[in-house]
Amino acid sequence: MAGIVASASWPQIARMDKRICLVTGATDGVGKATALELGRRGFQVVMAARDPKKAEGVAKEIGADVIACDLASLKQTRALAETFKRRHPRLDVLVCNAGVFLPERTLTKDGFETTYQVNYLSHFLLTQLLLGELDKSDDGRIINLSSSVHSMARFDPDNLQSEKKFSVMGTYAASKLFMLMFTEELAKRLAGTRVTANAVHPGIVRTPMMKKAPGAFRIITYLALPFSITPERGASTSVYLATSPEVRGVSGAYFVNSKRTATKNALDTPDNRALLWDLSLEAIA
Ligand SMILES: NC(=O)c1ccc[n+]([C@@H]2O[C@H](COP(=O)([O-])OP(=O)(O)OC[C@H]3O[C@@H](n4cnc5c(N)ncnc54)[C@H](OP(=O)(O)O)[C@@H]3O)[C@@H](O)[C@H]2O)c1
């Protein structure tokens, strides 16, 4: 269950003047580096952590609030949003960063394929639940971690959860395509509001996800190590999107190296985005 971790004294240390960000998967890799940098830049950081103990060091360093949440559970995702709303007056930046890269098809307790739920569906739900809080900000920003591998993914409405076919990269890449398509559809639906949504490829980053890649991908990622970047550099595009005045009002775009970049997937069409949205709403109903 979501609950207070960093913070029996939390309400006393909250500062109303700081911009507030919520980062999922803030206990390791890119998300941890993002949380640290935003904290150092004066944000009030809220870390969503599957393992709150793992968040303690960073939380102490930057005075972050920690809310426990396993994104493999829709119930815990709803509790995360509720706890956030109880403790914080609004949300300025939501970074949907947590992700997994799994060796096999497994189901969560909710009955969804794990990669689909953790990487995509729970972030879809969390965003829906926090849109009202983002709307209270004068410059609400949603930052979704996609990946360059979105280009090799298939959008098959009958295989969203790898029901017909699981493959290590295919399933992961599909979840990253869904994050991109969701971002684009969300931006369209948010047009005319002060809330924006953009997607990010962080680069090939030396994180546990890369270093512990499953099966044959361990060899590929090992060979890619010399070309990989640090988590701090991997976080730089998310930090740019969270902080830069240059991107105020920019929405529905995909960023690599802090630059707007074209997406590459012929199946990422307006019709498919709308279909994914409807199927996702059904899934969380
Ligand atoms: N690394 C790359 O080269 C690369 C490239 C493109 C895109 N990305 C994307 O960037 C994002 C960050 O990746 P990373 O490389 O930093 O990964 P990472 O080092 O493996 O960190 C993943 C984070 O997600 C959290 N997480 C995993 N399952 C969770 C769950 N069920 N509930 C809540 N939190 C959960 C982890 O928590 P624990 O600490 O408890 O494990 C950790 O904080 C991901 O969305 C990934 O797809 C990464």
Distance 247 CA to ligand 1 centre (A): 25
Distance 177 CA to ligand 1 centre (A): 16
pLDDT at 218 over 70: yes
pLDDT at 11 over 50: no
Q: What is the pLDDT of residue 225?
A: 85
Active-site residue 172, yes or no?
yes
pTM (2 decimals)?
A: 0.94
Atom of ligand 1 nearest to the CA of 228: 3
Residue among 209, 230, 232 whose CB has most ligand 1 atoms within 8 A, to mutate: 209
Residue among 50, 115, 126 whose CB has most ligand 1 atoms within 8 A, to mutate: 50
| pLDDT tier at 2, thresholds 50, 70, 90 | very low
* pLDDT tens digits, one per residue of 162-188: 999 999 999 999 999 999 999 999 999
CA 26 to chain centre: 10
Atom of ligand 1 nearest to the CA of 176: 47
Percent of the chain with pLDDT over 90: 87
Residue whose CA is at the smallest distance from ligand 1 atom 1 = 205
Q: Which of 116, 120, 172, 254 is catalytic?
A: 172
Distance 32 CA to ligand 1 centre (A): 9
Distance 28 CA to ligand 1 centre (A): 7
* pLDDT tens digits, one per residue of 138-167: 999 999 999 999 999 999 999 999 999 999
Atom of ligand 1 nearest to the CA of 54: 39
Higher pLDDT, 61 or 13: 61
In angstroms, the Cα distances linking 172 to 27, 147, 214 are 20, 10, 11
* pLDDT tens digits, one per residue of 128-141: 999 999 999 999 99
| pLDDT tier at 49, thresholds 50, 70, 90 | very high
Residues lining ligand 1, CB < 6 A? 25, 27-31, 50-51, 54, 70-72, 97-100, 118, 145, 147, 201-202, 204-205, 207-210
* pLDDT tens digits, one per residue of 21-31: 999 999 999 99
pLDDT at 3 over 80: no
| pLDDT tier at 58, thresholds 50, 70, 90 | very high
| pLDDT tier at 263, thresholds 50, 70, 90 | very high
Atom of ligand 1 nearest to the CA of 50: 33
| pLDDT tier at 217, thresholds 50, 70, 90 | confident
pLDDT, the chain, mean = 93
Residue among 75, 113, 118, 207 whose CB has most ligand 1 atoms within 8 A, to mutate: 207
